[in-house]
Structure 1
Amino acid sequence: MEITVWAGWLSGIAIGLFVILHFWLIGKPAGCSTGYGNVCGYLCKNMRYFKEGEYKNLNNIKLWFLIGIPLGGLISGLTSEQPWHLSFDMGMYDEILPQSAAAKAIWLTFGGMLLGFGARLAGACTTGHALVGGAMLNPPSLLAGVVFFMSAMITTHLLFGT
């Protein structure tokens, strides 16, 4: 069975066009971290932290953008010519993650929480900084994008030695 994969340059052009189209249609840059904040705000509405700002507004475009990401993946999987099934196979990460499903879930949840904290601390997620901020030539976002990629390269080298 042969898998068809988009060329990297074609995917890059598609993402770039999406970023421009999103900004042109909505008037706001694309990004996910505010949508996650809105979900947390809704779930934790009694906490003072989430009673301020746009976290109290569940009906905003970033929340719908956030919902569209897994929905788009699901539609892609269901319409694919390849057979689709739910799997907890982590590929090359199975070498470094704990083997039990519970320990793996705890480890990945903790990692996700760290990513959320980092996005909140940096003022945007990797999408917001590297794609949108980079397209707008925003100096702090360009620096953040460089830091993200360098961190990923170093981490990959430390974990896998490649």
Structure 2
Amino acid sequence: MEVTVWSGWIAGLAIGLFVVLHFWLIGKPAGCSTGYGNVCGMLCKKVRYYHEGEYEAKNNIKLWFLVGIPIGGLIAGLTAENPWQISFDMGMYEQILPGSDAAKAIWLMFGGMLLGFGARLAGACTTGHALVGGAMLNPPSLLAGAVFFASALITTQLLFNT
């Protein structure tokens, strides 16, 4: 199966234009972690960890942004040249993940929870800090983006080059 990948400069330009256009149209920076927090807040209204009232609006743009991500992926998969297929192949991660699909699912869900906790602790996700905060030259976001990428490089080196 051959995968067609966009050229890096085209993808980067498209993401940059999206960030600017989103801010220009909506007046708020793009990002996923707030939308995820809003969904969690709607599901667990008794949890005071999420800001009260933040998830109440049904026309919350962050919720629509969060819903659009899997829908966009589904549309891209269904309209691709090659037939879309579900696979549990994790590529290079097969060598470090457990063998069974159930164990992989548990491990990846745990990793996802850590990511969500880290995003909430940092005040935004990687998208919010590195792309949006970086585009706005926000010093804390630039620092957070640098920490994200440095920790990713170190983790990759530890996992795959030991």
2:138 partner amino acid? N
In the TM superposition, what are the counterparts of 1:95-106 in structure 2 within 5 Å?
A: 95-106=95-106
Greater share of residues in helix: 1
In the TM superposition, what are the counterparts of 1:142-157 in structure 2 within 5 Å?
A: 142-157=142-157
- Indicate conservation of the 8 Å contact 1:42/1:58, yes or no: no
The Cα shift of 1:33 comes to 0.4
Mapped partners of 1:111, 1:120: distance in 2: 14
Q: Secondary structure at the match of 1:89?
A: coil
The Cα shift of 1:144 comes to 0.5
In the TM superposition, what are the counterparts of 1:1-162 in structure 2 within 5 Å?
A: 2-50=2-50, 52-161=52-161
RMSD: 1.4
Tell me the TM-score normalised to structure 1 length.
Answer: 0.95
Structure 1 gaps, min length 5: none
Mapped partners of 2:140, 2:119: distance in 1: 14
Tell me the TM-score normalised to structure 2 length.
Answer: 0.95
Q: What percent identity do the matched residue pairs reach?
A: 81
1:132 partner amino acid? V
Mapped partners of 1:90, 1:56: distance in 2: 37
Mapped partners of 1:51, 1:19: distance in 2: 25
> Residue deviations 1:79-116, cap 9 Å, x none?
00111111111111111011111111111111000000
The Cα shift of 1:50 comes to 3.7
> Residue deviations 1:57-79, cap 9 Å, x none?
34300110011011100000000
Which one has more relative contact order, counting CA pairs under 8 Å at least 6 apart?
Answer: 2
Mapped partners of 1:103, 1:3: distance in 2: 28
2:25 partner amino acid? L
Mapped partners of 1:102, 1:2: distance in 2: 28
- Indicate conservation of the 8 Å contact 1:31/1:124, yes or no: yes
The Cα shift of 1:53 comes to 4.1
Q: Per the alignment, do residues 56 and 49 of structure 1 end up closer, same or farther by CA in structure 2, a change over 3 Å counting?
A: farther
The Cα shift of 1:36 comes to 0.3
